[in-house]
Amino acid sequence: MKIKRLICAVALCLAAIFTLSSCDSLFIFDIPRLYYPNGKTLVSHYLDVGQGDSIFIELPNGETMLIDSGENYHGASIIKYIEDCGRDKIDYLVGTHPHSDHIGSMAYIVRNFDIGSVYLPNASTNTYTYEKLLEAVKKKKMKVKNGKAGVNILNDEENSLYVNIIAPVDTDVKNLNNTSIIIKIEYGETSFLYTGDAETGELKTVTADVSADVLKVGHHGSDTSSPQSFIDAVNPKIAVISVGEDNDYGHPSTKTLKRLENKGCEIYRTDELQTIAVTSDGINLDVKSGFRTMERE
């Protein structure tokens, strides 16, 4: 009898998995939860943290990355989101630059989650948030890795997966935005660019190839982070803007939106669509939105 029940349960599970994996959409519930038939999908989750950045990336080699972590009250929601994705570790944690809308919750996340490596730019500030982050890293007996142009994070030929830091080339201590770590991920024929809050001053120093299919638009869509020359060089098909509803800065700027529209680029905004997920199987890209917000929970 017990064996019969077990067979029944297994059959039901298999039927459920088959139904879910054969759906058009691989997204269920309030988070995009993928069933990995072969583990070869990249998912870039642009978490809605209001006026700030936090991007959780499930890499096709099975590892994960978190770029930025919103303000100091987003930590618990970000961790819950990651756990609900079925993940229990952030292999690569990146703070693009030491402003509170990017590293606000990073100390909390370091204290409360399993972390592989931590990358920060070589730019210091004496804010409470930044000092707490360094303290949390030290307490875990970890060392911050210097995130600068030329640092290779992953070089996985087997999966055609390459993760590189392409900026900052120099450090502009007067403007922390211009110390932003810029990351490029290449997976198969697809590519993703994450630009933090880098402005024109930093962008013009970048010598690496910035072309990418998917662009996390710099500095919440501000005009100074998306000059025409940069948009031309990236030439994105998909642009994601991480920005707060009715923010005080007028982000995103109409100039930025026009430049992206003129490129024929699809634009997705977290203030309109909440959390946005872009997936890549190495060839095709897919965008889904409307997932759980970290901001207004």
Measured from the CB atom, the residue of 32 and 196 that comes closer to Zn ion is 196
Q: Is 271 in the site for Zn ion (CB under 5 A)?
A: no
Measured from the CB atom, the residue of 54 and 190 that comes closer to Zn ion is 54
Min separation Cβ 68 and Zn ion, Å: 8
Applying CB under 5 A, which part among 31-39, 75-83, 94-102, 111-119 lies near Zn ion?
94-102
Q: Is 199 in the site for Zn ion (CB under 5 A)?
A: no
- CA atoms lying within 13 Å on the CB side of residue 41: 17
Tokens of 296: 């207004």
Min separation Cβ 213 and Zn ion, Å: 23
DSSP structural state of residue 235: -
Q: Is 101 in the site for Zn ion (CB under 5 A)?
A: yes
Applying CB under 5 A, which part among 22-30, 32-40, 54-62, 98-106 lies near Zn ion?
98-106
Measured from the CB atom, the residue of 177 and 289 that comes closer to Zn ion is 177
Min separation Cβ 51 and Zn ion, Å: 7
Question: Are the C-beta atoms of 193 and 57 separated by less than 8 Å?
Answer: no
Min separation Cβ 111 and Zn ion, Å: 23
Q: In whole angstroms, what is the distance from residue 60 CA to residue 63 CA? A: 7
Q: Single out the residue of 221, 203, 295, 297 nearest to residue 257, CA to CA.
A: 221
| Bridge partners for 164 per DSSP | 152, 184
Q: Is 197 in the site for Zn ion (CB under 5 A)?
A: yes
Q: Single out the residue of 205, 215, 204, 197 nearest to residue 95, CA to CA.
A: 197
User: Residue holding tokens 């948009």?
Assistant: 231
User: Residue holding tokens 């993703």?
Assistant: 192
Output Rg (C-alpha) for the chain, integer angstroms: 19
**Which CA distances in Å does 28 have to 23, 76, 297?**
10, 21, 19
Q: Is 68 in the site for Zn ion (CB under 5 A)?
A: no
What is the footprint of Zn ion within residues 18-57 (CB under 5 A)? none
Min separation Cβ 222 and Zn ion, Å: 9
Applying CB under 5 A, which part among 13-21, 93-101, 145-153, 249-257 lies near Zn ion?
93-101
Positions that interact with Zn ion (CB under 5 A): 101, 197
